[in-house]
């Protein structure tokens, strides 16, 4: 009874949040570009095509199963290469935050320190994880190619690897829990996504952590069903390493860990939850301690304590105006010499802003932030791709903010995002008998989306901040497509109508 109540509560919250995102997010932005009718028609055709494709995959399941490994390998290889093709045309010199992690790694490699970037990492220690990873990879590349190394290309390849691991994990999860037709549907869905073809070049924390959550789920599934204790422990350990390393790059990866743990709790799988929780806690502690020790070795600890930006700063900034970045709040946060006073004043200002808005104003703010966070299907990759462009091309005219055809690109990516979100909604209509594994992961996916939205509502608003959960949206969309049986749905509606007629008669 308790399990059903908790699961039902999650489903209701999921539907509410998803509808709130659809109505106040993508539907607020895309129709303004191409019109309401074109949006409805395009989304309708897109979903109809995916349902038709899933049906065809189901009709030929045996044949598709026989050649799956070859098709999957070919798919991953082709996508990995295709993602690299725009690299030369889109070449640019990173600025701002991306320059800090990319340029900072090069400075660390070439000069043995990060002096010119030290203020940045004293203010933003959260980006030290990616800086360290870049430094490690660049050192290995330098040892092989020396001065001939093209570090921009190396970063693009790292982006493509991240996307490939994401694709691999999404397909494997679908095949494992939903079957071969769903795995082919996942490959088709990711092939249809316009933005994925240009994301490797936006090699910031968003893209370079896209692999983490899907891989952690995949390893979690195999760990959960493993019978041998050693194998189970090793798989849970691997899942924890994936999540912890992903969280070091972008800490929102932690949301999927919480969602998986809560799903086990709801199902009453306490033994499994215990092993999962202990493993996650141990690995996160070791990984975070290791990176923190490396950080302390490179920066003065007392100065770092003084300059590190508190998390409450972004929460405060998320209540100013429409919740986007603003320089005023940074000036406010850095105006205090006493960190205790700073933290108190930030909390006071945060509370004051919410009180000033009231319930109605806070709700309106959530609507605005949802439009910013989920209204841009391009995932705001132009934030990076239009910086210090080496040579402008026709591709730039399509995918950068000031491009002649950007509105078409924005609309295409927005329509695809709407297809994803509406497909995700269909998952709650499933009438299929579900395996414990499918039910557990399905509940976790729902809670993950709820958690992501809640986080973004209290954080700074940006079209990039759900990018590293794009793979989870793709996975949830396949879940919905696989769950929704058109003929059964229509048949049930007809049967319900007939029952109603008979009752009235």
Q: What is the mean pLDDT of each run of 10 residues along the chain (505 residues)?
A: 86 96 93 90 96 96 97 98 96 96 96 91 97 97 93 98 98 97 98 97 98 98 93 96 98 97 95 96 97 95 95 97 96 96 97 96 97 96 96 96 96 97 87 78 96 97 96 96 65 50 53
Would residue 85 count as lying in a domain?
no
Q: Is residue 317 part of a domain?
A: yes
* CB atoms closer than 10 angstroms to residue 351: 12
Residue 384 near residue 94, CB atoms below 8 Å: yes
Contacts 24+ apart (CB under 8 A), 271-280: 272/224, 275/232, 275/233, 275/236, 276/220, 276/223, 276/236, 279/233, 279/236, 279/237, 279/239, 279/240, 280/236, 280/239, 280/240, 280/243, 280/244
**67 is a domain residue:** no
Question: Which single residue is written with the structure tokens 């899907």?
Answer: 214
The C-alpha atoms of residue 97 and residue 174 are separated, in whole angstroms, by: 35
Q: Is 112 left (phi over 0), alpha (psi -120 to 50) or beta?
A: left
So what's the pLDDT on residue 489? 46
Count the alpha carbons within 13 Å of 55 in the hemisphere toward its beta carbon: 11
Domain assignment present for residue 335? The answer is yes
Asked if residue 321 belongs to a domain, the reply is: yes
User: Which range of residues forms the domain containing residue 350?
Assistant: 310-374
Tell me whether residue 452 is in a domain. Answer: no
Q: Which runs of consecutive H residues, i.e. helices, occur in 95-197?
A: 96-111, 118-123, 128-145, 151-177, 180-192
- 432 DSSP 8-state letter: S
* Predicted TM-score of the model (pTM): 0.94
Number of domains comprising the chain: 1
127 within domain boundaries: no
Dihedral of the CA atoms 166, 171, 176, 182 (nearest 10)? 140
- Residue holding tokens 């490699």? 109
Distance CA(258)–CA(283), nearest Å, equals 15
pLDDT at 493: 46
Please tell me the distance from the alpha carbon of residue 503 to that of residue 187, in angstroms, as a whole number: 46
pLDDT number for residue 487: 43
In a domain? residue 166:
no
Q: Which of 188, 166, 194 is nearest to 57 (CA)?
A: 188
Residues 6+ apart with CB under 8 A from 17: 449, 450, 453
The answer to whether 75 and 187 have CB atoms below 8 angstroms apart is yes
């Amino acid at each position: 009874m308790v399990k059903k109540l908790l699961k039902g509560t999650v489903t209701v919250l999921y539907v509410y949040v998803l509808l709130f995102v659809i109505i106040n997010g993508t539907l607020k932005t895309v129709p303004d570009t191409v019109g309401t009718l074109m949006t409805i028609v395009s989304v309708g055709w897109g979903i109809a095509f995916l349902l038709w494709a899933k049906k065809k995959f189901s009709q030929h399941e045996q044949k598709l199963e026989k050649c799956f490994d070859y098709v999957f390998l070919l798919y991953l290889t082709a996508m990995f290469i295709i993602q690299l093709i725009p690299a030369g045309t889109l070449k640019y010199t990173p600025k701002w935050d991306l320059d800090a992690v990319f340029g900072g790694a090069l400075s660390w490699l070439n000069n043995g320190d990060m002096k010119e970037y030290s203020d940045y990492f004293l203010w933003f220690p959260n980006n030290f994880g990616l800086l360290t990873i870049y430094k490690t990879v660049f050192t290995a590349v330098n040892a092989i190619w020396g001065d001939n190394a093209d570090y921009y290309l190396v970063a693009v390849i790292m982006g493509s690897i991240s996307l490939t691991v994401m694709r691999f994990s999404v397909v494997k999860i679908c095949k494992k829990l939903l079957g071969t037709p769903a795995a082919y549907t996942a490959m088709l869905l990711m092939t249809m996504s316009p933005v994925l073809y240009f994301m490797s070049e936006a090699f910031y924390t968003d893209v370079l952590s896209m692999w983490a959550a899907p891989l952690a789920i995949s390893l979690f599934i195999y760990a959960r069903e493993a019978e041998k204790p050693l194998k189970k422990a090793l798989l849970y350990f691997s899942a924890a390493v994936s999540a912890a390393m992903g969280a070091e790059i972008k800490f929102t990866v932690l949301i999927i860990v919480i969602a998986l743990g809560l799903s086990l709790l709801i199902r009453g799988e306490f033994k499994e939850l215990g092993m999962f929780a202990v493993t996650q806690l141990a690995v996160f502690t070791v990984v975070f301690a290791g990176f923190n020790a490396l950080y302390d070795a490179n920066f003065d600890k007392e100065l770092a304590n003084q300059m590190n930006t508190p998390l409450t700063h972004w929460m405060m900034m998320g209540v100013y105006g429409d919740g986007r970045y603003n320089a005023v709040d940074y000036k406010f946060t850095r105006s205090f010499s006493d960190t205790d006073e700073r933290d108190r004043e930030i909390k006071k200002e945060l509370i004051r802003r919410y009180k000033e808005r009231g319930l109605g104003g806070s709700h309106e703010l959530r609507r605005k932030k949802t439009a910013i966070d989920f209204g841009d299907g391009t995932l705001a990759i132009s934030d990076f791709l239009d910086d210090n462009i080496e040579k402008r091309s026709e591709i730039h005219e399509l995918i950068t903010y000031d491009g002649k055809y950007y509105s078409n690109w924005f609309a295409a990516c927005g329509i695809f995002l709407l297809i994803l979100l509406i497909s995700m909604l269909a998952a709650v209509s499933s009438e299929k008998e579900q395996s414990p594994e499918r039910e557990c992961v399905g509940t976790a996916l729902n809670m993950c989306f709820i958690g992501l939205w809640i986080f973004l509502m209290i954080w700074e608003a940006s079209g990039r901040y759900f990018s590293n959960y794009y793979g989870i949206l793709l996975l949830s969309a396949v879940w919905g497509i696989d769950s929704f049986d058109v003929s059964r749905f229509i048949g049930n509606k007809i049967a319900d109508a007939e029952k109603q007629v008979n009752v009235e008669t």
